Structure 1
Amino acid sequence: MAEIRSNAASVEFRNVTKIYGKSKAPAVNGVSLFIEAGKLVTLLGPSGCGKTTTLRMIAGLEMVTGGQILIGGADVTRLPATDRDVSMVFQSYALFPHMTVTQNVEYGLGFSGFGRKETAERARAGLELVGLSNFGDRLPSQLSGGQQQRVAVARALVLEPQVLLFDEPLSNLDAKLRRRVREEIREIQQKLGLTVVYVTHDQEEALAVSDRIIVMNNAVIAQDGTPRELYEQPANAFVADFIGEANMFQCEVVSVEGDSATVQLGSAVLKLPARGRKPGPAKLAARPSRLEIGEPNAPGTLPGTLEKVTYVGSHLEFVVATQFGEVFVISPDVDTAFRAGQPVSIGFPERGPVLITD
């Protein structure tokens, strides 16, 4: 019985630019990145940021305007898609409706020089890997959306590509199914040690599946890091606001000693990691769940008035009017009675706010 193996390879972009036609605005502008073999890296960003173009250039479906692309250390910049050891799972699944599940999984193998026996064995191994061993004789129309997605994954896996690409793979699934399928994709990737490049605009999806996330905005990389780094230490206002929600405050860096900054935020004085900031005006980001609602006039806090209190089961959501405008706060304390119009204070725990660039 054939087994599906990993031929994982690294992916490197060296100052890659893509310009379509006569457009003056590049779709991808001087991007350099390195994706380690055996890791799942997500390209995340809003529509039009360049993430899908980046993915398609890895696949060879789009050719670069400038720069180099290397897979496994080999320059593939000018190679067509057919000469790259890369497989892609598309948003639409792209299954052949008139073929059975097994025939769909076998399809690519027929062009790769495998004999009939090995093709059949690889298809069986692929379907077993995605939990569809007993579905080989069915047509795609007889499967659920999640099952169709797994067939598309199996079809890509049996080719044992150096790099496996996912283009918005879960966008056609409902929320509950998305969560289950993304867990399955992550489990297969880790089990086989695959190099996966994954495109999505869904922040939660990216945080859940990725070893690293590359956030793109306006054709360039806004920040590259682990999910925790991007969530807890956003480099700038765009990343802070795009990866989850964030409250933005104008503040003043009073002084810097080593890696520690003294920051004035209204009546609150905070000690924060300096992150390279110098004394002067600055911007601070704070996640709603990293703020605390307390009694008014507590020392070291920001005074405010509750405008809205919303109970959503597992937590309370507050909108607080302050001198800096409305501040959104999430609290797990669902038992304390709060009411609109009540004066409160907003506290800043040590691991709460971070200094960012514009």
Structure 2
Amino acid sequence: MTETTIASKAAPVRFEGVSKVFGKDVVAVDNINLHVEAGKLVTLLGPSGCGKTTTLRMIAGLEMATSGRILIGDRDVTKLPATDRDVSMVFQSYALFPHMSVLENVMYGLTFSGFDKHESRSRAVHGLDLVGLKGFDNRLPSELSGGQQQRVAVARALVLEPQVLLFDEPLSNLDAKLRRQVREDIRAIQQDLGLTVVYVTHDQEEALAVSDEIVVMRNAAIAQIGSPRKLYDAPVDRFVADFIGEANLINCTILSVEGGLAKIEIEGYQHSLPSRDLTPGPATLAVRPSRILIGTDAGIPAKVAKATYVGVRMEYTLAGAFGQVFAVQDDVDDPLEIGSQVKMAFAERGPVLLPEG
């Protein structure tokens, strides 16, 4: 098994009007269209019950679509069982056999795929090397850290040389520091080998960190598809704005629109930004916590309602006639006092008007 062999097998995935209904009327996925390019990592992101895991399981063949078509490469796999789809899945629980060594765990799928013992061992050793576990062959899963167990699960999936590699909440059992390390490992492996990966998570930061493209799902449907930066900077509605990276939603008034720029006003404070085809009148502004400027000479009157030190930054809740907003500042040496009166303004780039609807 070589890196070029794995990369050359990467295939696109396409959903054409796919729905999944459980029982008579429980719609888990509602008429979605989706294209995952070969060699890209695409994340399905959304709250519990939005349909992301069901979508992943339909790619794997663990659930069958009620209607529509699913294609992997040029092949229609809609009706094919999981064993005939040439995909591998890394589960949330890792699903390692506790009585088998690391090497035996990685070899397990190969022996059932018709490879002889010598070839299976050779592929398994190479797979462990790819995920940074060279020399761990004879250890038991219980002798590994959570991150190392996750890498074993990835190696076991990789050695089967799948056209598509699927991850179902792969980091949810790890602590915060280890999650960051393992997500970097997964991203590096995917990019090095050119794998097609579909990745499910409910963690927004995780999705932003690993993805080429993010599919935000809500109520069994797709709310928005785009690159991490596009979704962060130009959310299509309130749900996406609030779900991706936390946003303050503030009522404002659009005073005028000229040349694609809108001039907005909040309590006498004015700011210009892209109009996004909106017209003068009431509107909603989405502002990230890091884009709120505190202590400016001109701005919106506010009071510091809460102040929290989290090590690398200060977190503030600001209250005013506009309601409450959450803001962050890097200055931890001279924090604002709770109850102090301040002026609040916005960074030149970052605030975004939300389209209606």
Q: TM-score, normalised by structure 2?
A: 0.95
CA distance 1:138–1:309, shift in 2 (3 Å): closer
| Match runs of 1:141-152 below 5 Å | 141-152=142-153
2:313 aligned partner: 315
- Report the Cα distance in structure 1 between the residues aligned to 2:120 and 2:144, rounded to whole angstroms: 23
1:68 to 2:69 alignment = yes
Which of residues 13, 35, 41 in structure 2 aligns to 1:11?
A: 13
1:349 aligned partner: 347
The 3-state SS of whatever aligns with 1:275 is coil
Q: 1:254-279, CA deviations, whole angstroms, 9 ceiling, x for partnerless residues?
A: 22223211222221222111112222
Q: CA deviation at 1:311?
A: 2.7
- Report the Cα distance in structure 2 between the residues aligned to 1:184 and 1:341, rounded to whole angstroms: 44
- Report the Cα distance in structure 2 between the residues aligned to 1:100 and 1:342, rounded to whole angstroms: 61
Aligned residue identity for 2:2: E
Q: Tell whether the 8 Å contact from 1:109 to 1:158 is kept in structure 2 after alignment.
A: yes
The 3-state SS of whatever aligns with 1:27 is strand
Count of matched residue pairs: 353
1:202 to 2:213 alignment = no
- Report the Cα distance in structure 2 between the residues aligned to 1:134 and 1:208, rounded to whole angstroms: 29
Q: CA deviation at 1:142?
A: 2.0
Residue range with higher mean Cα deviation, 36-45 or 251-260 = 251-260
1:54 aligned partner: 55
1:20 to 2:22 alignment = yes
Q: 1:243-262, CA deviations, whole angstroms, 9 ceiling, x for partnerless residues?
A: 12211111122222232112
- Report the Cα distance in structure 2 between the residues aligned to 1:239 and 1:246, rounded to whole angstroms: 9
- Report the Cα distance in structure 2 between the residues aligned to 1:251 and 1:149, rounded to whole angstroms: 47
2:137 aligned partner: 136
Q: 1:163-212, CA deviations, whole angstroms, 9 ceiling, x for partnerless residues?
A: 00000011111111111111111111010000000001111111111111
Structure 1 vs Structure 2: percent identity of aligned residues? 64
Q: CA deviation at 1:329?
A: 1.3
Q: Tell whether the 8 Å contact from 1:215 to 1:239 is kept in structure 2 after alignment.
A: yes
The 3-state SS of whatever aligns with 1:133 is coil
Q: CA deviation at 1:81?
A: 0.6
- Report the Cα distance in structure 2 between the residues aligned to 1:221 and 1:264, rounded to whole angstroms: 32
Residue range with higher mean Cα deviation, 241-250 or 192-201 = 241-250
2:114 aligned partner: 113
Q: Tell whether the 8 Å contact from 1:3 to 1:122 is kept in structure 2 after alignment.
A: no
The 3-state SS of whatever aligns with 1:147 is helix
- Report the Cα distance in structure 2 between the residues aligned to 1:98 and 1:333, rounded to whole angstroms: 52
- Consecutive unaligned residues in structure 2, runs of 5 or more: none
2:290 aligned partner: 289
Q: 1:70-99, CA deviations, whole angstroms, 9 ceiling, x for partnerless residues?
A: 111221111111110100000011112222
The 3-state SS of whatever aligns with 1:19 is strand
- Report the Cα distance in structure 2 between the residues aligned to 1:74 and 1:268, rounded to whole angstroms: 57
CA distance 1:119–1:228, shift in 2 (3 Å): same
Q: 1:85-122, CA deviations, whole angstroms, 9 ceiling, x for partnerless residues?
A: 10000001111222221111111112222232221111
- Report the Cα distance in structure 1 between the residues aligned to 2:108 and 2:242, rounded to whole angstroms: 43
Residue range with higher mean Cα deviation, 101-110 or 137-146 = 137-146
Q: Tell whether the 8 Å contact from 2:314 to 2:335 is kept in structure 1 after alignment.
A: no
- Consecutive unaligned residues in structure 1, runs of 5 or more: none
Aligned residue identity for 1:14: E
- Report the Cα distance in structure 2 between the residues aligned to 1:137 and 1:335, rounded to whole angstroms: 50
Q: CA deviation at 1:337?
A: 5.0
Residue range with higher mean Cα deviation, 97-106 or 121-130 = 97-106
The 3-state SS of whatever aligns with 1:229 is helix
- Report the Cα distance in structure 1 between the residues aligned to 2:62 and 2:28, rounded to whole angstroms: 14
Residue range with higher mean Cα deviation, 197-206 or 340-349 = 340-349
1:331 to 2:329 alignment = yes
- Report the Cα distance in structure 2 between the residues aligned to 1:281 and 1:167, rounded to whole angstroms: 41
CA distance 1:311–1:116, shift in 2 (3 Å): closer
Aligned residue identity for 2:101: T
Residue range with higher mean Cα deviation, 221-230 or 54-63 = 221-230
Q: Tell whether the 8 Å contact from 2:14 to 2:70 is kept in structure 1 after alignment.
A: yes
Q: Tell whether the 8 Å contact from 2:16 to 2:34 is kept in structure 1 after alignment.
A: yes
- Report the Cα distance in structure 2 between the residues aligned to 1:289 and 1:71, rounded to whole angstroms: 41
CA distance 1:144–1:336, shift in 2 (3 Å): closer
Q: Post-superposition, which runs of at least 4 consecutive aligned residues in structure 1 deviate over 6 A? A: none
